[in-house]
Amino acid sequence: MAFARQDVRLEVEQLSFTYPAGVEALREVSLSIQSGERVAIIGQNGSGKTTLVRHFNGLLRPTRGRVLVGDWDTAAQSVAKLAARVGYVFQNPDDQLFCRNVQEEVAFGPANLGLAGECLQERVRDALKLTGLAGKEGINHYDLSATWRKMVALASILAMDTPIVVFDEPTTGQDAASVERIANIVEELGRRGKTVITITHDIDFCAENFSRVIAMKEGRILLDGSTRRVLAQEELLATTYVEPPQLARLGRRLGFPETVCTQDEFFEAYRSWRPGA
C-alpha cells in the first residue's frame, strides 16, 4: 500500500519548560531533526527526555522558546491537529488504550484523521501485521499481556501514518522476540521515509538501531551526534547515568582504537586489532 511521504522537519528553538509545581525540566534546548532521521534520546531518569518529546505533539507547550513541526508552531496548533504529523506512543500502554477491542483501538486514530472504508481497513491491517497482532483483532486489550498491550499502543499510532513517530521507552519489560519485533518496526518506518524518535534506557537497542543519539542531562542537551561518536564519550555519558553499550565496553576493554556499536563493527575492528600495539 502507499504511504504518505511528507518532508516534515522538527525544529526546537531555545526551548525551556517549567512544570506548574516549579520544576524546571528543560533549559534552553535547541535541536533540529530532518525528515527520515532515526534518533535516540538517552539520559538519566528525570533528565527531561519525556518532557522534551511531549512538546513535539503539543501535549506540553513551551514556557519559553518554540517548537516547529514543519511549518506549524506547536504553540498555535491543537493536539488534535498535531496528531496528523506526530504520533506518540506512551511509555505505559495503559495510559493510552481505551477502546473495546484491538481492531477499534487501532482504527480510532486514523478514523479521526478522516480515513474511512477500505482505506481505513487497509491501514489497520498493515499496523496489525507490523506489530504481530493479526488474528487478535477481536480481543479486549485488558485480556492481553503487558507485552501485547504495548504492541496495541504501537499499532494504534502506526496506523495514523504520521511523518514523525515518537516512542517513549518502547522496549521496557519486553522479551528478546518482542524487542526484535520493535527493531524491525523501526527499520520498516525508516524504509517508509518516516522520522523515528525514541526515548530509551536500553543502550544496546539504541546502539544497534539508531544512527543519531541525543544525550540529555538536567534538562539540557549534553551530547548530540552520530551514534558512534556520542557513545564513545564514556566519561561524559557517565555524568547522565549512561553506560556504553556492551560491545563498546568489550572493545574498549580489549583496547580497540574505535568505539564499536554493532557486531559487524566489532569484527571489523577485531580483524585489524593487535593487542598491546
Partner 1 sequence: MAIVQVEGLSYTYPLAISPALQDINLSVEQGEFVAVIGANGAGKSTLCYTLAGFIPHFFKGNLQGSARVAGLDTSQTSLAEMVVRVGLVFQNPFNQISGAKFTVYEEIAFGLENIGLGRQEMKNRVEKVMALTGIADLAHRSPYALSGGQQQRVALASILVMEPEVLVLDEPTSQLDPIGTREVFQVIKEMSRQGITIVMAEHKLEWVAEFADRVIALAEGRMLLDGKPREVLVDPALPAGHIGISRYTSLARRATQQGLWPAGRRLPVTLDEAADGFREARRAA
Binding site for partner 1 (CB under 8 A): 21, 43-46, 50, 91-92, 94, 145-147, 169, 172-179, 201, 203-204, 238, 240-243, 245-247, 249-250, 253-254, 263, 266-267, 270, 273, 275
| Residue 77 vs 92, nearer CB to partner 1 | 92
- What would you report as the CA-atom Rg of the chain, rounded to the nearest whole angstrom? 19
| Residue 162 vs 209, nearer CB to partner 1 | 209
Position of cell 519559553? Answer: 64
* Amino acid at residue number 9: R
Other CB atoms within a 10 A radius of the CB of residue 252 amount to 15
Distance, CA of 205 to CA of 55 (rounded, Å): 24
- Distance in Å, CB of 98 to partner 1, minimum: 16
| Residue 2 vs 177, nearer CB to partner 1 | 177
Q: What would the grid cell of residue 161 be?
A: 501514518
- Distance in Å, CB of 100 to partner 1, minimum: 18
Where does residue 22 fall: left (phi above 0), alpha (psi -120 to 50 degrees), or beta otherwise?
left
Distance, CA of 131 to CA of 117 (rounded, Å): 22
* β-strands 195-199, 38-43 pairing: parallel
Report residue 212 CA to chain centroid gap.
12
Longest CA pairwise span in the chain (Å): 66
| Residue 56 vs 266, nearer CB to partner 1 | 266
- Distance in Å, CB of 216 to partner 1, minimum: 11
- Distance in Å, CB of 153 to partner 1, minimum: 14
- Distance in Å, CB of 40 to partner 1, minimum: 13
| Residue 125 vs 249, nearer CB to partner 1 | 249
Distance, CA of 156 to CA of 130 (rounded, Å): 11
| Residue 69 vs 199, nearer CB to partner 1 | 199
95: Cβ contacts below 8 Å, ≥ 6 apart: none
Q: What would the grid cell of residue 192 be?
A: 517508509
- Distance in Å, CB of 60 to partner 1, minimum: 14
* β-strands 72-73, 220-226 pairing: unpaired
- Distance in Å, CB of 150 to partner 1, minimum: 10
| Residue 46 vs 225, nearer CB to partner 1 | 46
